[in-house]
């Protein structure tokens, strides 16, 4: 997290300042930030009133199997990860296990350090970046996943009706956005550990995510 990183509105909002510095014996800092920037998690309550907040998410949704739907070679700004993409993954690696995290690898993270390209807004202000399709979302829900993660600002792309958010969060699932996906991450047989700051009543929170693999 740093000042000037990409966010939904293009304003970032992250600030960190030094309150006490080394001449006084130590450095003490404070920060102000929106909860929904950088790599972060959306709780069901982000869209659904009276659903679980960040502090209430079950630990087995935060530490669970993961798998990667890799569409990087064919993804473009308006690409939607499809049910076919997921079925192709299953043909190669086997059935998706329940309570797992579906990671959409679109390659969009390569623009992270260029906020204008990462947001990719057209003249009307609508953003364009890869997303999850409706059929992919429904198929993943039929597998009883724990949630999804994406290397973009949103699994809905620039669609501000947020259909993927509404469907997943209404079913008690989690969403992780702005995930950094390394090229050496295996596509299957990984364990995801996604631990957001445990903030009471928060609908979103910054999140450190790692993957464990036997490879």
Band (pLDDT 50/70/90 cuts) for residue 215 is low
Q: Can you spell out the DSSP letters for 74-93?
A: T--TT-EE-HHHHHHHHHHH
Selection from 183, 119, 123 nearest residue 152 by Cα: 119
Contact 131, 156 (CB under 8 A): yes
CATH topology for 35-213 is Glucose Oxidase; domain 1 (3.50.30)
pLDDT tens-digit series, residues 174-208: 999 999 999 999 999 999 999 999 999 999 999 99
Band (pLDDT 50/70/90 cuts) for residue 83 is very high
| Interatomic CA distance for residues 151 and 103, integer angstroms | 8
| Interatomic CA distance for residues 1 and 205, integer angstroms | 12
Please tell me the predicted confidence (pLDDT) of residue 214: 80
Domain boundaries, the chain: 35-213
Q: Can you spell out the DSSP letters for 131-168?
A: EE-HHHHHHHHHTT-SEEEESSS-TTTT-TT-HHHHHH
Helix (H, G, I), strand (E, B) or coil at 55: helix
pLDDT tens-digit series, residues 15-48: 999 999 999 999 999 999 999 999 999 999 999 9
């Amino acid at each position: 997290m740093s000042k000037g990183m990409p966010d939904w509105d293009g304003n970032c909002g992250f600030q960190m300042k030094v309150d006490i510095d080394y001449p006084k014996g130590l450095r003490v800092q404070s920060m102000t930030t929106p909860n929904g920037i950088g790599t972060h998690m959306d709780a069901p309550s982000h869209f659904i009133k009276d659903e679980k907040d960040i502090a209430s998410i079950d630990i087995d949704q935060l530490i669970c199997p993961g798998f990667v739907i890799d569409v990087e070679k064919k993804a473009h700004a308006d690409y939607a990860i499809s049910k076919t993409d997921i079925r192709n993954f299953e043909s190669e690696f086997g059935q998706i296990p329940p309570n797992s995290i579906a990671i959409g690898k679109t390659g969009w993270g390569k623009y992270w350090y260029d906020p204008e390209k990462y947001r990719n807004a057209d003249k009307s202000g609508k953003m364009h970046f890869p997303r999850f399709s409706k059929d992919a979302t429904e198929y993943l829900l039929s597998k009883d996943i724990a949630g999804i993660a994406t290397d973009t600002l949103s699994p809905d792309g620039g669609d501000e009706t947020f259909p993927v958010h509404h469907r997943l969060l209404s079913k008690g699932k989690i969403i992780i956005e702005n995930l950094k996906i390394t090229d050496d991450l295996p596509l299957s047989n990984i364990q995801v550990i996604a631990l957001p700051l445990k903030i009471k009543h928060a609908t979103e929170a910054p999140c450190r995510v790692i993957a464990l693999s036997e490879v």
